[in-house]
Structure 1
């Protein structure tokens, strides 16, 4: 349905109609969307429909993309830009979906000028000026623990790339301070690296210690999926992300927990 209704020739694009039953099925697999206020939830749905009209989805390795897969990706991709706007994703059109993790050939030169070639097994990849590549698994998502979200991770990289490269510092709105951002993120990143280097159990996915850009992307995943946890381990980072994304998902998570605790047993 979605593919047939798109217009890729530059004319006015048509927003797809999504049946109520499909919203229910897809959103049931994304419980962290319950942390949004009702008005924000409605805006997210509209933005997801807009993204479906603007971007081209492609299945890799013969993967057939269902409407539910594309809608699930669109909802997660739009969550970080709900209050930033889809213009943050301008300049590229492709979203490539693999049936599971995939391998990317890498070529790296060491300090001695020796080129090393290897295959890197990944769940996603975002290219500056190019497509976003994500994995999708048969269970309707990724085989990941709570707080890990490959779609949010890769689209956070796209936000980071807006001002060139991936350095963990996306373009900030006027009301935010680069100094405050750097202070919060540098302290948290250094603390995580120390945990990883010492062999202690890291409070975030150790992949976040690879680079400040990866720390921002991983922190963004946890911000949306486990916001109360992120606020407890890195409160300054949570505060910066809350100001940047214009959302307070920890409050929504607390509300959902209260509602669950009052349900009759």
Structure 2
């Protein structure tokens, strides 16, 4: 009886959120036009993405910095991109925090880094996005609009991949695996593919001479920044999965299959990759 009552309340909250934060047709169409990498989605998937986008907006608090005006178009564009990775999973993967902060452009972050001698330094650097463990996601609106799909860059997907990675603690490139979605994929199978791919990519980056670096940085599907840490490799590869899926699958087939199984999506339409389970209703 209690479970039925809880389900009834959840359904009521969901329906109320969908009504309160309904996205007008014209705004949704213009959002899709600005996100061409969503073209692989079937009509039914786009309906679910629209609902999930509304629910995301209902659950999260958007704010801006430096007097940037927050518009409905900005909110929906960010929310749709954030919702894409969890389309066949659940917004529960974004639980435990509420804030999305949008800056006009790049912003300065302070980081603690340890050099090769073990000395710790406090540094400042420009950033286009940052995800705080237990805290907000911070985005550059200028970068969040770089969505034409000409390369694999997508700052929104990148930062929300970090949030998924952080669900069970510090981001480490080993996101949580759930039996109901990911079985028989487990931590050992993940490490066999992911860690090997990361080590190979780092070796590739380390082997690039200074003379060839600019060309490599320009031509590489995976941003060399991904070699900084396994968590960055996971986030950058998540960008590639959704934004340049065919190129990603062609260059990194095993890694593509791993991430496609994790997100339960096959944007390159390779087929026969995913567990035979139904999509989870938006909630």
Into which bin does the TM-score normalised by the smaller protein fall?
0.7 to 0.9
* CA distance in 1 between partners of 2:38 and 2:119 (Å): 47
1:227-264 Cα distance to aligned partner (Å, 9 max, x none): 11111111111111111111110019xxxxxxxxxxxx
Shift in Å, 1:177? 2.1
Question: In the alignment, is the contact (CA less than 8 A) between 1:192 and 1:203 conserved in 2?
Answer: no
Aligned length: 241
Which residue in 2 is equivalent to 1:18? 23
Given candidates 72, 79, 96, the residue that maps to 2:101 is: 96
Alignment of 1:58 with 2:63, yes or no, is yes
Distance 1:111 1:192, change over 3 A: closer
1:27-79 Cα distance to aligned partner (Å, 9 max, x none): 11101111112111110000000011110000111111110000000000000
Identify the structure with bigger relative contact order (alpha carbons < 8 Å, sequence gap 6+). Answer: 2
Alignment of 1:183 with 2:181, yes or no, is no
What is the RMSD computed on CA atoms of the aligned residues? Answer: 2.1
Alignment of 1:194 with 2:199, yes or no, is no
Q: Relative to structure 2, which stretch is displaced further, 87-96 or 198-207?
A: 198-207
Given candidates 223, 246, 254, the residue that maps to 2:264 is: 246
* CA distance in 2 between partners of 1:217 and 1:151 (Å): 10
Question: In the alignment, is the contact (CA less than 8 A) between 1:15 and 1:50 conserved in 2?
Answer: no
| SS at 2:268 equivalent | helix
Distance 1:193 1:111, change over 3 A: closer
TM-score by length of 1: 0.85
Alignment of 1:1-265 (within 5 A): 13=17, 15-110=20-115, 114-137=119-142, 140-141=145-146, 146-174=151-179, 175=183, 176-199=185-208, 201=216, 202-251=220-269
1:200-247 Cα distance to aligned partner (Å, 9 max, x none): 634410011111110000000000001111111111111111111111
Instruction: Provide structure 2 residue ranges, at least 5 long, that are not aligned to the other structure.
Output: 1-15, 271-283
1:114-167 Cα distance to aligned partner (Å, 9 max, x none): 542321111100011100011112994479952110000000000000111111
1:89-136 Cα distance to aligned partner (Å, 9 max, x none): 111000000111111123445576754232111110001110001111
